[in-house]
Amino acid sequence: MLHVFLMDAPRNASKRGSVIDDIILVVQSNRLGQPITYRIRLAPSSFLLNHHHHQNTMSNTLPPLPYAYNALEPYINEQIMTLHHTKHHQTYVNALNAAEAAYSKASTPKERIALQAALKFNGGGHINHSLFWKNLAPSAAAGKGNGGVLKDGPLKSAIEQVWGSLDALKKEFNTATLGIQGSGWGWLGYNTQTKRLEIATTPNQDPLLSLVPIIGVDIWEHAFYLQYLNVKPDYLNAIWNVINFEEAEARLVEASGNSKL
């Protein structure tokens, strides 16, 4: 059972698309016994009213993997990938659909507020994992694909501009991600204001909102424990061998709006 407490949050001054508000939620989990803070963005009332009458348009589905479950071995084994995709991600999708359906039927502000944590947590889980799968590719070092290879281009130039080298980025990224208390995500993101790459972390299943996500790494135990046990540094060192830098570069080019960074 989750107890939800609504906290004050500033109105998002920059309206973009259908997103207009941030709400911060503190969720007290009886099972974990620790408070967890989530931030959720709400759609405008016109969107929600439209969703109320067109529930099927908001149905979320589990995206297929762009490779086989064993394609990332030896760095991420088949058992982890199978469970992570078909069980964990599927659970987020199912719970998100259920929360959206309940929200569309909610008739009072109290009922809608009570659903915000579920929308945020499961919506974030769906967003993050959908990005994560594309973030990975069979390893070049294992002779399977292009994973782990950063070629000359906009992404390499942007990385070297900030860190000097890919190895320096990896070191700082891994250190920051290891600093997450409990579960969360490590991110390489693009700051559209400074036009530079930055490292960030988010707790739990919070999506990255302050930056455009370029690379995201899942540091939840379900992403690595069956292979790396509690040795997170080994997992973080290994995952760079299956990072899809071509996908990351495409995101960077799109975010910057300029192929000549």
Residue 71: inside a domain: no
- In a domain, residue 203? The reply is yes
**What is the tally of structural domains in the chain?**
1
Residue 92 lies inside a defined structural domain of this protein: no
Residue 246 lies inside a defined structural domain of this protein = yes
Is 169 among the domain residues? yes
Residue 227 belongs to domain with CATH number:
3.55.40.20
Q: Looking at residue 258, what is its pLDDT?
A: 65
For 16-41, how does the pLDDT look when each residue is reduced to its tens digit (9 = 90+)?
A: 333 334 434 444 444 344 444 444 44
* Domain range enclosing 200: 154-256
Question: Count of residues for the chain?
Answer: 261
- Does residue 188 have a pLDDT over 90? yes
User: Average per-residue pLDDT in the chain?
Assistant: 84
Instruction: Report the C-alpha gap between 109 and 91 in whole angstroms.
Output: 26
**Has residue 220 been placed in a domain?**
yes
Phi, psi of 18 (to 5 degrees): -100, 5
Per the domain annotation, does 69 fall within a domain?
no
* Structural domain includes residue 193: yes
pLDDT in tens, 59-113: 899 999 999 999 999 999 999 999 999 999 999 999 999 999 999 999 999 999 9
Look at residue 239 and tell me whether its pLDDT is greater than 60.
yes
Beta bridge partners, 37, equal 26
